[in-house]
Structure 1
Amino acid sequence: MTNDLRLDEADSHILALLSRDGRMTNAELAAAVGVAPSTMHARVKSLIERGVITGFHASIDQARLGKGLQAMVGVTLRAGSRQESILAFSQAIRRLPQVIQVFFVGGTDDFLVHIAVESSADVRTFVVEHLSAQQTVASTRTSIIFDYHRNAVAAEFE
């Protein structure tokens, strides 16, 4: 992967369009940007090859899957063998079906865990059984998500 990530106005426009609708066809993208379909194909291919576009994702309506309650849980780990604790916690938590996203962060919390569940009882069960029960977890803080807006899907950090 090259570090030459200079984007011109057309590339920025392509990224904005695909962020809103990753299913846009090459022909639709070309018409919206005002270039030939062959040019659009080459530009999208270049963005993928340069690692700017890392994938195409489906947006899932969790409520339609019976998981209408979402929460963000801040997790602070106990002091001690931090590196091992961080890696073990991160690997274990991301496997749970309730987990949508996991963020390793700096600040008060070590992790922010975004979950989707059916009810407030399920939030409690998740926190008690999957977080507080772990010896490496010192504390948790739970915030219920009422609404959110997402401008884009970010790629994983390396």
Structure 2
Amino acid sequence: MDDIDSAILAHLQRDARQTNRELAAAVGLAPSTCLERVRALRAAGVLTGFHAAVDLAALNRTVQALISVQLRPLNREVIQNFKSYTAGLPEVLSVYVVTGPQDILLHVAVPDVDAMHTFLMDRITVRREVVGFNTSVIYQHTSNPVVSRLP
């Protein structure tokens, strides 16, 4: 990874739909050289895919929350099964295995508060391994659209 690779990554993260010619011009390379660098970044596993950004509000999923979940018995199989189960739920955006008093952190998005309650009652509390959870509604959030290498 050099500065040109970092620039390529930044431009692709902002707009993955741009043509190779546009990307090459933006980073000051010949199109053939730019294409080879993009291919090398994919081969190295730095670029893992290209994704579409989705407006959750346009999909009527205006209420987001972070749900901390405590599981028991705490072992690899229980964690993996719960992680797989929740990752397959349509309300769930992300699943994190974390340290601390809670074991799993879920990022969910639903249409309204009633749907959040239904999700918690029908999808989370029905699981025998769940011994507790805590829900934090997200009022606002900002994410960094560009991830770069650290110095």
Same fold (TM over 0.5): yes
Where 1:30 maps in the other structure, the secondary structure is: helix
Q: Percent identity?
A: 43
Please tell me the residue identity of whatever aligns with 1:133. Answer: V
**Residue 21 of structure 1: aligned partner:** 15
Distance across 2 between alignment mates of 1:131 and 1:153 = 33
1:40-93 Cα offsets, whole Å, 9 max, x none, are 100000000000000001111111111111111111112x25222111101111
Q: For 2:66, which of 34, 55, 72 is the aligned residue?
A: 72
**RMSD, matched Cα:** 1.5
AA aligned to 2:117 is R
Gap regions ≥5 residues in structure 1: 1-6
Cα distance in structure 2, aligned partners of 1:149 and 1:20: 15
The answer to whether the Cα contact below 8 Å between 1:77 and 1:138 also exists between their aligned partners in 2 is yes
The runs of at least 4 aligned residues of structure 1 exceeding 2 Å deviation read: none
In the alignment of these two chains, the number of paired residues is 147
Q: Which has the higher contact order (CA 8 A, sep 6+)?
A: 2
TM-score (norm 2): 0.91
Q: Distance in 2 between matches of 1:75 and 1:153?
A: 29
8 Å CA contact 2:24, 2:31 repeated in 1: yes
The unaligned stretches of length 5 or more in structure 2 are none
- Encode CA deviations 1:4-49: one digit per residue, 9 max, x unaligned: xxx1000011111111222121111111100101111000000000
| Distance (whole Å) between structure 2 residues aligned to residue 50 and residue 141 of structure 1 | 39
Residue 132, structure 1, aligned to residue 130, structure 2? no
Structure 1 range deviating more: 118-127 or 101-110: 101-110
CA distance in 2, matches of 1:40, 1:108: 47
In the TM superposition, what are the counterparts of 1:1-150 in structure 2 within 5 Å? 7-78=1-72, 80=73, 82-150=75-143
